[in-house]
Chains A and B, each alone.
Chain A
Amino acid sequence: MAAKKQVEKTKEKKVKPVYPVSLSGIIWKIATLGLVDAVVLFMIMVMVAQERITESVVAAIVAGIINWIYLRRGGLPAKYLAPGVLFLIVFQVYVLVFSGYTAFTNYGSAHNGDQNLAIQTIKNAAYRVVDGGEDFVVVPGTDNKDGKPALLLTSNVDNKVYIGKDGQQKIEVPEGKFTLSANCADPYAEDTTTCAHAAKTAVGFTPVKISDLTPYQIRKYYSLRVVIDPKDDTLGIKTADLAIASEIQATLSFDEKTKFFTALEDDENGKFVKGDVFKPAENGYYHVDGKIKNAHLDAGWRVEVGLKNFVTIFTDEQLRAPLFKVIIWTFVFAFATVGSTFLVGMAIAFLFNHEKLKGKRFYRSIMILPYAFPAFLSAYVWVGLLNKEHGFVNTVLLGQPADGDNNIGWLTEEGPARWAVLLVNLWLGFPYMFLIVTGALQSIPGELTEAARIDGASPWQSFRLIKLPLLLVSIAPLLISSFAFNFNNFTIIYLLTKGGPNDSGVTDYDVGGTDILITFVYKIAFSGTGQNYGLASAFSILIFLVIGTLSLISFRRTRTLEDIN
C-alpha cells in the first residue's frame, strides 16, 4: 500500500507542470489574501458582537480554507475554481439545499421562523394600549453606563423626562440634565408653536438615528418593555414605532419555564376565553391545550411536515385539474417556442447565407434589434400593442374599432392569449437563433456542399442531408439550453399576462390560462393571502428534477458531453 502510494506520488510529480514563481505574483497574492482576511475578520467581529457564534465559526473555517488553497504549493485547479465556487455555494448550492429542506416543512407567511421568533412575535403583539393611559414621546438610544438599548421618554401628561430600560422601572431625569427638541411633548398637540417640548437627549444617554439601526437592533427596541409596577408584570410601557410609547396591558402571559401562553382576557372575537392555556402543537402553532382543533395564536413557526407537500401535489383534488393543464401548456409553450424561433431563425440564416446578397449587414443590424433590446421593456410594449380596446394590433393591423366589444382579447382570452405569448416570444427569440445558425453555418466546410453539388445533389438534398444534420449536431446543446430556459421563462409570461386570464371559481389556487409551471409556483409562493413556501419548494424540486433529467438525457443523446473527457 505504502509502496503504491509512493509510486503514485512520484508519478504525479513527473506529470505535474512546474510553474516558475515571480516576486510580483507573490506580492499580489499576499496583498489580496490580506485584504480578504481583513474583511473576514471584520465580519467575524460583527457577528460575535451579535452573538452569532455558529456563523462566525463557519466564516473562520471558510477563511482558513481559502488561505490554505492559495498559500500551499500546487493544487492549481482549486486556485482557479475557488472564487467562483464560493459564490456558487452561497447563492446556488445553498438555495438548492434550502429549497430541498423547505419542501419538507410548512414554511410560509404564517410559519416563517423558529419557535422563539414566534414567541417573540406573539409577545410583542399580545397587548393593548390602556385607555386614557399616559403617552410618551420616544427617542431611541443607549444607556452610557452599560451600552444597553434605552428609551428617552417625555410624558404628555406632566412633560417630565424619563429614561426607560427593558425590565426596569423608568428613572426620571432631573431638570437641567436634558436638552429639548423642536417636537412637542404631547404628540397629539394641535398648536405646535406654544406646546411644551420633548427631550432630545440627556446626560448619560446617547441617542441613535433610526436610519442607522439594523433590523436586529430595531427588534430589540420593539421588544423593550419598561416596568410600571414591579408586582404586576402585565403592565408596562412599550413603543411600536420608535416615536411614541404608551402604557400597555398585556393580553397574554408567558411562562418562561413551560413556554406556555395563558390568556389574561377574553378574545374580542370570542375564539378563546380568559384562562385558556396555549401549548405548542406539532403543526407549528400555539393551540388552546395544544389540540389542533382548538383556536390558535396568529404567529406560527416552521416545523417539518414530512412528505405532506408532495402528497398535496399528487393527491389534492383542487390542484389536479389546473396542474395537469399547466403542465401540458408548459411543454407546448417550451417546444413551440424553441421550434418556431429555430425554424424562423434558420430560414433567415439560410436566406442570407448567400454570397451575392447585398446589404447583409443592414438586414442583420435590424434583425438583431429585438435581441439587443431589453426583454422586459419589449414585453411591456407588447402589452400595449396587444391591448384589446385600443391596441395597435387590433385597431390598426386588424382594422377593428377602438373600444369594440368584439375585438380580440389578446391578453384577456385564453386562446388568443396563448397565441400572443407564443408570437411575442418568437419575436424575442428568433434573432438569437438566426445568429447561432449563421455562426454554425459558417463553420460547415464549403468543400462538403461543393462536393455534394458536383455529385448532383439538389439544393434541397444538400440542405437536408448535409447542412441540417451538421447544423443540428453543433447547435443541439444550445437548443436544449433554450428549451430549459423557456420551460422556466418566467419573465415573459409574468410580464405579458401574469399567467392570466384567470380561471376564477374553478379552483382554490390562483391559476390562469397562460400559466406555466414556474409562474404557477411563483403565485403559490408569493401572491395571494396564504403564501406557502413549503408547497412552492416541493414544486421547485420536482420541476428541477424533470428539467434536469430531460436535459441530461438530451445532452447524453447528442453526445456533447463526451468531449469533456
Chain B
Amino acid sequence: MADIAAKIPNFKTNVRRRSFLKWLFTTGWRHVLGLAICVYAIFPILYILSTSLYPNNDINNTTTLFADVSWDNYDALLANEDGNRPFLTWYANTVIIGLLTSVGSVFLSALAAYSFSRLRFRGRRGGLMSLILMQMFPSILGLVAIFSLMSDIGQVFPQLGLNSQLGLVMVYMGGALGGGTYLMYGFFNTVPKEIDEAAKIDGASHARIFFTITLRLVAPVLAVQMLLSYIGVTSDYVLASILLSDPEKLTLATGLQTLINDPYSKDWSMFTAGAILSALPTVIIFLILQRYITSGLTAGATKG
C-alpha cells in the first residue's frame, strides 16, 4: 500500500492547479483503489511471466520477480529435445479444435436463436426453457455417458471415437445450443424486425436475410461469442483429458498438464513458458475486442 501511495503524485501532474485534497476526494481515491485492484489482478500473471523468464527455475523457489531474464525456457520448450512434449503440435491442435468448435457452435446457436427470435411455432417457449435448463446439466456429470458413447462410436468409426479430436469437437458442439442460444436470442431481438420485412419485400429469401443481413448486424456480438467459446474450449481440461490420450493429439490444457503431472519432475519453467505462449493470443484479442465484450456479455440479459 505504502509504495502505491507514493506513486500518486505521478498521476496528478496535470492537475497541479487544483488542490490535492479536492482531487483526492473526486477521482484520486478511485485511482488508489484502482491501482490496488490492478495489483491483485495482475500479480499472478506477472509471476508466471517472471518464472517463465527465469532460467532453470522452480516456481516454488522464486521470491523476487524478474530476478533474471532469459529466453532459455522458451527455447527449450520449442526445441522439444527429448521429444515428449510436442508443444507446437499441442498448440496447433488447440487452435484447430478451438476454431472449429467456436465457429461451429456459434453458428448452430445463431441458427437456433434466429428461429426463436423471428419465427413463431408451437413448443417455442418450452424449447427455449428446456435449453436453459439443459445448460444446468454440466458435462462433468455426463462424463461416464460421454465416455461410453465415444467408446461405442469408436468401435465402428475410430476417426470419431475415443482419442479423436474430431470426436471431441462434436462433443463440444453438443453443448452449443444450451450454451449460446439464450444470449444470442437476446441479440437477435435487438435487431429491428422491419429490416427483415423490407428485405423480404425486396425479394430476399429467408436464408439470404439470415446470412447476409441479420448475421452481419450482430457480427461484433458473434465475434465476442466466438471468442468466449474459444476461451471456454481451450481452457477445458476434463473432457479433453478423458477423451484424448496420444501425446501428439493432446490440447494445450492437457499437454501442459503433463509437464507438471509427475510429482518428481515438475517442470514449472517449461509449464509457465507454455502458459504464457498459449494465453498470449487470446489475451491480445480479448484486449482488442474489450469494447464489444461488455455488450457481448450483457446484451442477451439486458435486452440491449
A-side residues, CB < 8 A to B, are 17, 19-22, 25, 28, 43, 46-47, 50, 52, 55, 76-77, 80-81, 83-85, 87-88, 90-96, 98-99, 102, 107, 214-216, 348, 351-352, 354, 356-359, 363-378, 380-382, 384-385, 387, 389-392, 395-396, 402, 427, 431-432, 435-436, 438-440, 442-443, 474-475, 477-478, 481, 484-485, 488, 490-491, 494-495, 518, 521-522, 525-526, 533, 536-537, 540, 543-544, 547-548, 551-552, 555, 560-561, 563-565
Whether B231 contacts A564 by the Cβ 8 Å rule is: no
Pick the contact of A551: B133, B204, B234 (CB < 8 A): B133
B69 within 8 A of A: no
Could you name 21 residue pairs across A and B whose Cβ atoms are closer than 8 Å? Answer: A19-B206, A25-B208, A80-B119, A83-B108, A84-B176, A92-B137, A92-B174, A95-B137, A98-B144, A98-B148, A102-B145, A366-B38, A372-B283, A374-B231, A374-B279, A390-B58, A439-B297, A440-B298, A474-B302, A561-B132, A564-B124
Interface residues of B in 14-29 (CB under 8 A from A): 26-27
Tell whether, in the assembled complex, residue A490 and residue B140 are in contact, meaning their CB atoms are under 8 Å apart: yes
Within 8 Å of chain A (Cβ to Cβ): is B89? no
Inter-chain contact A369/B136, CB cutoff 8 Å? no
Is A76 a contact partner of B119 (Cβ separation < 8 A)?
yes
Residue interface bits B270-301, CB-to-A below 8 A is 1, else 0: 01100100110011001100100111011101
Contact with A along B28-70 (1 / 0, CB 8 A): 0011011001101110110110010000001111110000000
Given A19-B206, A92-B137, A387-B60 in contact, is the A357-B27 Cβ separation under 8 Å? Answer: yes
- The 10 A-B residue pairs whose C-beta atoms are closest, nearest first, are A91-B174, A439-B298, A95-B142, A390-B60, A80-B115, A372-B286, A540-B141, A98-B145, A384-B59, A84-B108
Query: Which of A91, A392, A484, A491 contacts B170, CB < 8 Å?
Result: A91
Binds A, one of B71-79, B80-88, B155-163: B155-163
Q: Are B154 and A215 in contact (CB under 8 A)?
A: yes
Per-residue A-contact encoding for B168-211, CB less than 8 Å = 1, 0 else:
00110111111001000000000000000000100111111010
Apart from A80-B119, A95-B146, A381-B44: 10 A-B pairs, beta carbons within 8 A? A21-B205, A80-B114, A87-B174, A91-B149, A373-B45, A377-B275, A377-B279, A380-B271, A439-B298, A521-B141
Residues in A with CB closer than 8 Å to B45 are 369-370, 373
Q: Which chain A residues lie closer than 8 Å to B268 at the CB level?
A: 384
| Interchain CB contact under 8 A, A88 and B174 | yes
| Contact surface of B with A, Cβ cutoff 8 Å | 26-27, 30-31, 33-34, 37-38, 40-42, 44-45, 47-48, 51, 58-63, 108-109, 111-112, 114-115, 119, 121, 124-125, 127-129, 132-146, 148-149, 154-158, 170-171, 173-178, 181, 200, 203-208, 210, 231, 234-238, 252-253, 256-257, 260, 268, 271-272, 275, 278-279, 282-283, 286-287, 290, 293-295, 297-299, 301-304
Q: Are the C-beta atoms of B115 and A356 separated by less than 8 Å?
A: no
CA distance A402 to B61 in the complex (A): 9
A330→B37 CA distance, assembly (Å) = 27
Contacts of B144 in A (CB 8 A): 98-99, 102, 107, 525, 533, 536-537
A537 to B304, CA, bound (A): 40
Contact present for A544 and B141 (CB under 8 Å)? yes
CB–CB B156/A488 < 8 A: no
Residues A478 and B301 in contact, CB atoms below 8 Å apart: yes
How distant is the Cα of A561 from the Cα of B206 in the complex, in angstroms? 27
